[in-house]
Amino acid sequence: MEIVLRVAVIYLFVMFGLRVIGKREFAQLTTLELVTIMLIPEIVSQALTREDASVAGALIGVSTLFCLVFFTSVLMQKSKKVEDVISDKPALLVAHGKFLEDSMNQERVTPGEVFNEMHRAGLERLEQVKWAVLESDGKISIIPEEAADRDKGVGADQEGVAA
Amino acid sequence: MGYATAEWQGPPQPPEIDRRLRFQRVQAIGVPILLLLPTLALLGVFDGTGTKSAEGSGLRVTVEYPARVRYRSREPLTVSVENTGGRALAEATVRFDRDFLRAFSGVSLMPEPEAVTREHFVVTLRDIRPGEARRVSGELEAEAYGRHRGAVEVVPGEDGGGEAVRIPVETITYP
């Protein structure tokens, strides 16, 4: 039935679109980003169901979406390559107290945003930051110089994985 | 405030694990259930057209009707009448069961019914010469849930004589 194919096509396209515009866009919603998120369902809803008012159509559409989400996560779990294609990799923004300018420009992160996260972590100067990482979910993690030094050696132990 | 190049010099990357698929019990049961609906939909369980033909009294009648529909979906209904006899038919009529059509709203037929009796919508087909065919087509919007049975009858008319050709039809409307 058509609705299954429509949901699959829209799902893949939206996933592709979100992957392309980057992780930063949906982590902290600006007005523009909020409008984007609100408009997506408005735009695609007609295309998804084509005025299908039936409960059967709704159930088919929702179960199709659930199945797509589930099988996407299964593929990501099974294959590292698929995971790399679908989910964004973390990006390093600051290393040893220095901005990584190319990376910040590529990810469209401003110095002010990094400083905001530093302040939340209780840091005031860039030199106090060993690493600032833009994670896959769009959040910025701050690892202070002291914490990184203190944990040296512990990280090496953690690299092994229990069976 | 200095800048450096954009190469990964960050914290250690997470170690890789042996990636295997492990499903929770609820997923092992639930995912096949979820998968059932789209699969049935792709197999055409929730929508489909039925086609039936019958011959008799110098007529070949073919009805294409909605066999499975979803609530409020509009589906085509077509009746083709071919004169396979040796005589022209001046006033053949196509009769649609009113009980059957009552399950639908927004019924439109072309040519339009000339008469509506207690039991039938009656469409008259004029001047069907031997070998010629006429068609009644329309659209039905599914309104009532459930299984609806009825029939389409084609009566050759006084000139043609003979029995009516009756084709039973059945539509299942999903909510």
Using one digit for the tens of pLDDT, what is the confidence trace for B83-114? 888 888 888 889 999 989 889 987 888 888 88
DSSP H helices, chain B, are 25-42, 98-101
* Res. A117: pLDDT tops 50: yes
B72 has a chain A CB within 8 A of its CB? yes
Contacts 24+ apart (CB under 8 A), B27-30: B27/A70
- Condensed to tens digits (0 to 9), the pLDDT of residues A118-159 reads 999 999 999 999 999 998 878 899 999 875 555 555 444 444
- Verify whether the Cβ–Cβ distance B34 to A66 is below 8 Å: yes
**Has this prediction a pTM greater than 0.80?**
no
Q: How far apart are CA A78 and CA B18, in angstroms?
A: 9
* Res. B122: pLDDT tops 60: yes
R_g of chain A, CA atoms, integer Å: 21
pLDDT band of residue B76 (cuts 50, 70, 90) is: very high
Share the mean pLDDT of chain A.
79
Degrees (nearest 5) of the Cα angle A32, A34, A37?
110
According to the model, what pLDDT value does residue A32 have? 60
According to the model, what pLDDT value does residue B148 have? 93
Give the nearest partner residue to B8 out of A92, A96, A104, using CB atoms: A92
**Chain B residues touching A82 at Cβ < 8 A:** none
Give the nearest partner residue to A102 out of B6, B37, B72, using CB atoms: B6
Instruction: Find the closest chain A residue to B33 by CA distance.
Output: A63
pLDDT band of residue B5 (cuts 50, 70, 90) is: very low
According to the model, what pLDDT value does residue A46 have? 73
**Chain A residues touching B8 at Cβ < 8 A:** 92
Mean pLDDT over residues A10-25, rounded? 72
- Verify whether the Cβ–Cβ distance B1 to A126 is below 8 Å: yes
The more confident residue out of B51 and A36 is B51
According to the model, what pLDDT value does residue A156 have? 42
- Verify whether the Cβ–Cβ distance B175 to A160 is below 8 Å: no
Mean pLDDT over residues B152-163, rounded? 75
* Res. B116: pLDDT tops 90: no
The answer to whether residues A150 and A115 touch, using CB atoms and an 8 Å cutoff, is no
According to the model, what pLDDT value does residue B47 have? 85
Q: What domains does chain B contain, in order, with CATH numbers?
A: 48-174 (2.60.40.10)
Q: Phi and psi dihedrals of B28, rounded to 5?
A: -60, -30
- Verify whether the Cβ–Cβ distance A53 to B71 is below 8 Å: yes
**Chain B residues touching A3 at Cβ < 8 A:** 41
Counting Cβ atoms within 10 Å, is residue A35 exposed (0-12), middle (13-18) or buried (19+)? exposed
pLDDT band of residue B73 (cuts 50, 70, 90) is: confident
Q: Which residues pair with B94 in a beta bridge?
A: B123, B154
According to the model, what pLDDT value does residue B129 have? 87
According to the model, what pLDDT value does residue A118 have? 93
Q: Which residues pair with B76 in a beta bridge?
A: B139
pLDDT band of residue A38 (cuts 50, 70, 90) is: confident
* Contacts A–B by Cβ distance under 8 A: 107
Mean pLDDT over residues B108-123, rounded? 87
Shortest distance, CA B172 to any CA of chain A (angstroms)? 13
- Condensed to tens digits (0 to 9), the pLDDT of residues B6-60 reads 456 678 877 788 888 888 888 888 889 889 989 999 998 888 899 999 988 888 9
% residues pLDDT > 90 (chain A)? 25
Q: How far apart are CA B69 and CA B45, in angstroms?
A: 9
Quickly count: other Cβ atoms within 10 Å of residue A97's Cβ: 17
Check residue A139 and report its DSSP letter: P
Structure token digits, residue A62: 């929702």
Would you tell me which residues 27-66 of chain B have a C-beta closer than 8 angstroms to some C-beta of chain A?
27, 31, 34-38, 41-42, 44, 46-47
* Res. B168: pLDDT tops 60: yes
Establish whether the linkage from the previous residue to B111 is cis, with ω within 30° of 0.
Answer: yes
